[in-house]
Amino acid sequence: MEWQFASAAEISRQLCSKQVSATEIAKYFLSRISKHNQAFNIFVHVDEELVLKQAAEIDARRAGGDIELGALAGVPVAIKDLLCTTDMPTTCGSRFCEKYVSPYDGTVIAKMRAAGMPWMGKTNLDEFAMGGSTETSIFGAGRNPWDAQRTTGGSSGGSAACLAAGLAPLAIGTDTGGSIRQPAAFCGVSGFKPTYGRVSRYGVVAFASSLDQVGPMAHMVEDLALAMDVISGHDPLDSTSLPHEKPGYTASLSQAPQRFRVGVVREQIESDGLNAEVKQAILRTLDVLKECGADVREVSLPHSKYWVPAYYVIAPCEASSNLSRFDGAHFGFRAEPLEGKKSKSPLVEMYSRTRAQGFGAEVKRRIMLGTYALSSGYYDAYYLKALQVRRLIRQDFDRAFEDVDILVGPTTPNTAFKIGEKVDDPVQMYLEDLYTVGANLAGLPALSVPCGRSQVGLPIGVQFQGRPLDDALVLQIGHRYQQAIGWRPTPAPLS
């Protein structure tokens, strides 16, 4: 059987009924990786022996009648190379961590290990998750399976592309300003950023700690719910982890309300920067939602024009702090001293040379921007002001959710752009986050699902955003939408 575009739920059902073994599934996807990975630069590390060992253990447990096996036991998963694992390198797409192997598993990894999910490998990403196109990776740019000359989006571009190429049925990404949802839209798959704190960040190499969130990526919303049942929940190892009891995401998918209120953000749908084809796809989505029981009304988020400016002050400031540990003194890359030259301050020289050689251009840009905004004399004018704007942004969302249950709009202003098109223009690159960063600034759950294709065949994504902790409702409505349109994954041309 061809499994490359089967949903994780379908594979799970076949495994549970013993119609196929975890080893057979693992071998199938390993063969796909061997055949297609080089063309699209998706996986940066694959350990076939480890994958097959994990799959064999699941088969043995299932044959022995182990009743504690979870629904996803034996379903392979791809992992963004930003999550710490003991049995594979965690490179962060950077020269600094090129050979780093973590001494511990992150909480999400530990939960998937306990659930019996073999990982196919680590996927490509922008360096330290800083980028929107997977072009800043030390391993080179990732390529979109829908058009190899176009970007996968980022920073979780490898995780999205591996699904689009049929190299895994499920993937894990991280989302700081849209890094799950934007590549999901570009690659024609589904991606979910949970409420901030729903999923533990322990074992995730930090970019911007108040914005980062781990989330699943898959073909179907049902698969996202299955993954959330595994990876979410309170973690005492993460001080930002929410103590709230997690809902049964999969069990609640069929409980979407018969009538619900959908808000369309005026500032988004009327934006001059919104591609006409993307806008038409969103309007068609709204028509489908009306047939599903939605009362569609217009809402306003007046401070949405400040989303990108506020984000690109707060995120670099936090990155400047988080990445200060990468200095060559503790672990990872260290620059060699200059031969025949004696320095008055060899330690400072080692720091500066190591950082200059170890970090890529985009990481340096954000560190310098954040350090400047945090410096004496500028803290109040930039960082503090951005935090005040962040509060106004959250208040905009709170007021909107007094009148609606969910917000629906474009995930991205455009379809996937060509590799190299925006890499030298950071402002244009940052504007691709125009509709996604708001959810991170406000800590909201947000989902992107495919809603059409452009005239040249590139995927378009629609975004659903809910109140904090309304993760289940967001997934319910996304699931109902996919049922209404009869959504099935469409194979990418792989050309």
Rounded to an integer, the average pLDDT of 163-186 is 98
Please list, in sequence order, all residues whose beta carbon lies within 8 angstroms of the beta carbon of residue 244, skipping any fewer than 6 positions away.
234, 469
- The backbone torsions φ and ψ at residue 34, rounded to the nearest 5 degrees and listed phi first, read -60, -35
Q: Which CATH number fits domain 1-331+344-495: 3.60.10.10, 2.40.40.20, 3.40.630.10, 3.90.1300.10?
A: 3.90.1300.10
Residues facing 123 on adjacent strands: 43, 80
pLDDT at 335: 87
The single residue of 133, 155, 241, 304 carrying the catalytic annotation is 155
221: Cα within 13 Å, side-chain hemisphere: 31
Please give the pLDDT value at position 495.
59
- The one catalytic residue among 21, 133, 179, 271: 179
- Considering the candidates 80, 122, 246, 279, report the single residue annotated as catalytic: 80
Is 473's pLDDT higher than 80? yes
Residue 280 phi/psi, 5° resolution?
Answer: -65, -40
**pTM for this one?**
0.96
Whether 260 has a pLDDT exceeding 90, the answer reads yes
Residues 174 and 200 sit within 8 Å (Cβ to Cβ)? no
Burial class for 381, CB neighbours closer than 10 Å (0-12, 13-18, 19+): exposed
Q: CB within 8 A of 300, min separation 6: which ones?
A: 265, 266, 267, 396, 400
Q: For residue 342, what are the contacts with CB-CB under 8 A and spacing of at least 6?
A: none
Let me know: does 481 contact 292? Beta carbons within 8 Å. yes
DSSP string, 313-369: HHHHHHHHHHGGG-SSSSSS--PPPPTT---S-HHHHHHHHHHHHHS-HHHHHHHHH
Alpha-carbon distance of 230 to 247, in angstroms, equals 11
**Helix 471-485 × helix 221-231 angle, to 10°:** 160
Strand ranges (E), 203-259: 213-218
**pLDDT number for residue 284:** 98
| Three-state SS sequence of 247-262 | CCCCCCHHHCCCCEEE
pLDDT at residue 346, as a whole number: 80
**Alpha-carbon 372 to chain mean position:** 28
179 is catalytic: yes
Quick one: which of 215, 263, 268, 307 has its CA closest to 410? 268
pLDDT at 187: 98
- Residue 466's H or E segment, with its range, is strand 459-466
Q: What are phi and psi of 222, to 5 degrees?
A: -55, -40
Residue 111 CA neighbour count, 13 Å, CB half = 22
* Chain segment 12-65, per-residue pLDDT in tens: 999 999 999 999 999 999 999 999 999 999 999 999 999 999 999 999 999 998
Q: With beta carbons less than 8 A apart as the criterion, state whether 161 and 152 touch.
A: yes
155 is catalytic: yes
- For residue 340, the model assigns a pLDDT of 63
Sequence length of the chain is 495
Nearest-5° angle of CA 264, CA 269, CA 272? 160
Q: What is the DSSP letter of 232?
A: B
- Looking at residue 383, what DSSP letter applies? I
Query: Does the pLDDT at position 68 exceed 90?
Result: no
**pLDDT, position 351:** 87
Concerning whether 232 is annotated as a catalytic residue, the answer is no
CB 84 within 8 A of CB 122: no
Q: Could you give the CA distance from residue 90 to residue 460 in angstroms, rounded to a whole number?
A: 31
CA angle 193, 198, 201 (to 5 degrees): 85
- Tokens 């409980």 found at: 255
Question: Who contacts 228 (Cβ-Cβ below 8 Å, separation ≥6)?
Answer: 192, 194, 198, 199, 216, 246, 249, 471, 475
Shortest CA distance to 170 belongs to which of 189, 152, 153?
Answer: 189
- The domain limits of the chain are 1-331+344-495
**DSSP state, residue 195:** P
Q: What percent of the chain has pLDDT over 90?
A: 89
What's the whole-number mean pLDDT along residues 199-205?
Answer: 98
Q: Hey, what are 398's tokens?
A: 């709170």
pLDDT tens digits, 301-358:
999 999 999 999 999 999 999 999 998 888 789 888 777 667 778 888 888 889 999 9
Do strands 190-193 and 213-218 pair parallel, antiparallel, or not at all (unpaired)?
A: antiparallel
